[in-house]
Amino acid sequence: MQFQHPSHPHPLRITTGFDAEADVLCAACEAPISGIAFNCANCNNFSLHRTCGLLPHVIHHSSHPAHPLRLLHKPAYDDGQYACSACGGLGSAFCLHCSECEFDLHIQCAWLPLDTTIQTHEHELKLEFECPAPPENYILCDECEGEMDHGLWAYWCGENCDFGAHVGCVAEEGPPAVKHDGDHGSNDNDETVDYCSVNSLAHRLQLLEVQRKMVYEQARMMVDASNAIKNLI
């Protein structure tokens, strides 16, 4: 099966042999690809996640209710980059864009879950598109202790206990594996090894839960876009 994607001149085919360690990046979201994906049948250096390859051309996002966001296959600006209005990071691949407001979103930021939980905080966190703290307040992320920008999205405690975190700190994969002094692959200290394994697993489960909710948000928006198109026909 092949299909023509508007971002690429050659037909794309379904490929099943992607290895997570092969460092193949999605041309849409620039995240690593593993498993099944779309791949260029000719030049073999263009790949898309299945979900990224099937994104709707227009979506309505709750962070920007005034205008629809259009899927662009490259940034709208002369320098070939855009600053994501959600996380503040730069992007050079696909984006969701409002030309009237110069509002841009990373593909992956658009699907951030509206609520989630993390291991380091007891309450549910809510995604806020505007900082609830007064503009004059200097606020720090409770995960990384870095400064938080009032103009960017963040996760805040739904119980009003002033816990806040960057969206990237909530969605990240967690810390690298801990390597203790004297640990050379042996299991001399079973208690320490077990603690590290459980801690790493907890962070991994946290990431998977965020990813599960991101997939749900993406599916919901794609259904909304499909229904909107049907209503126009």
Both tokens of residue 25? 């990046």
Question: What integer is the mean pLDDT of 125-145?
Answer: 88
| 111 has a pLDDT exceeding 70 | yes
Please, which residues have CB within 8 angstroms of residue 181's CB and are 6 or more apart in sequence?
none
Judge whether residue 203 has pLDDT over 70: no
| pLDDT score, position 45 | 83
Note the pLDDT tens digit of each residue in 153-176.
999 997 878 899 999 988 873 322
Work out the average pLDDT over 184-195: 35
Residues 6+ apart with CB under 8 A from 211: none
Q: Please name the helix (run of DSSP H) or strand (run of DSSP E) that holds residue 110, with its range, or none.
A: helix 107-110
CB 122 within 8 A of CB 162: no
CA 175 centroid distance within chain: 17
CA 214 to each of CA 11, 28, 108, 109, 115: distance values in angstroms, whole numbers, following the listed order? 28, 16, 8, 9, 10
- Look-up of token digits 């026909």: 233
What is the share, in percent, of the chain residues with pLDDT greater than 70?
70
44 vs 110: which has the higher pLDDT: 110
Q: Are 143 and 125 in contact (CB under 8 A)?
A: no
Model confidence, pTM: 0.70
Q: How confident is the model at residue 66 (pLDDT cuts 50, 70, 90)?
A: very high
CA distance 179 to 189: 13
Q: What is the share, in percent, of the chain residues with pLDDT greater than 90?
A: 32
Chain mean pLDDT for the chain: 77
What tokens were used for 66? 């005034």
pLDDT per residue over 72-105, tens digit each? Answer: 999 999 999 999 999 999 999 999 999 999 999 9
Distances (CA, A) of 20 to 25, 67, 87, 214: 10, 37, 25, 20
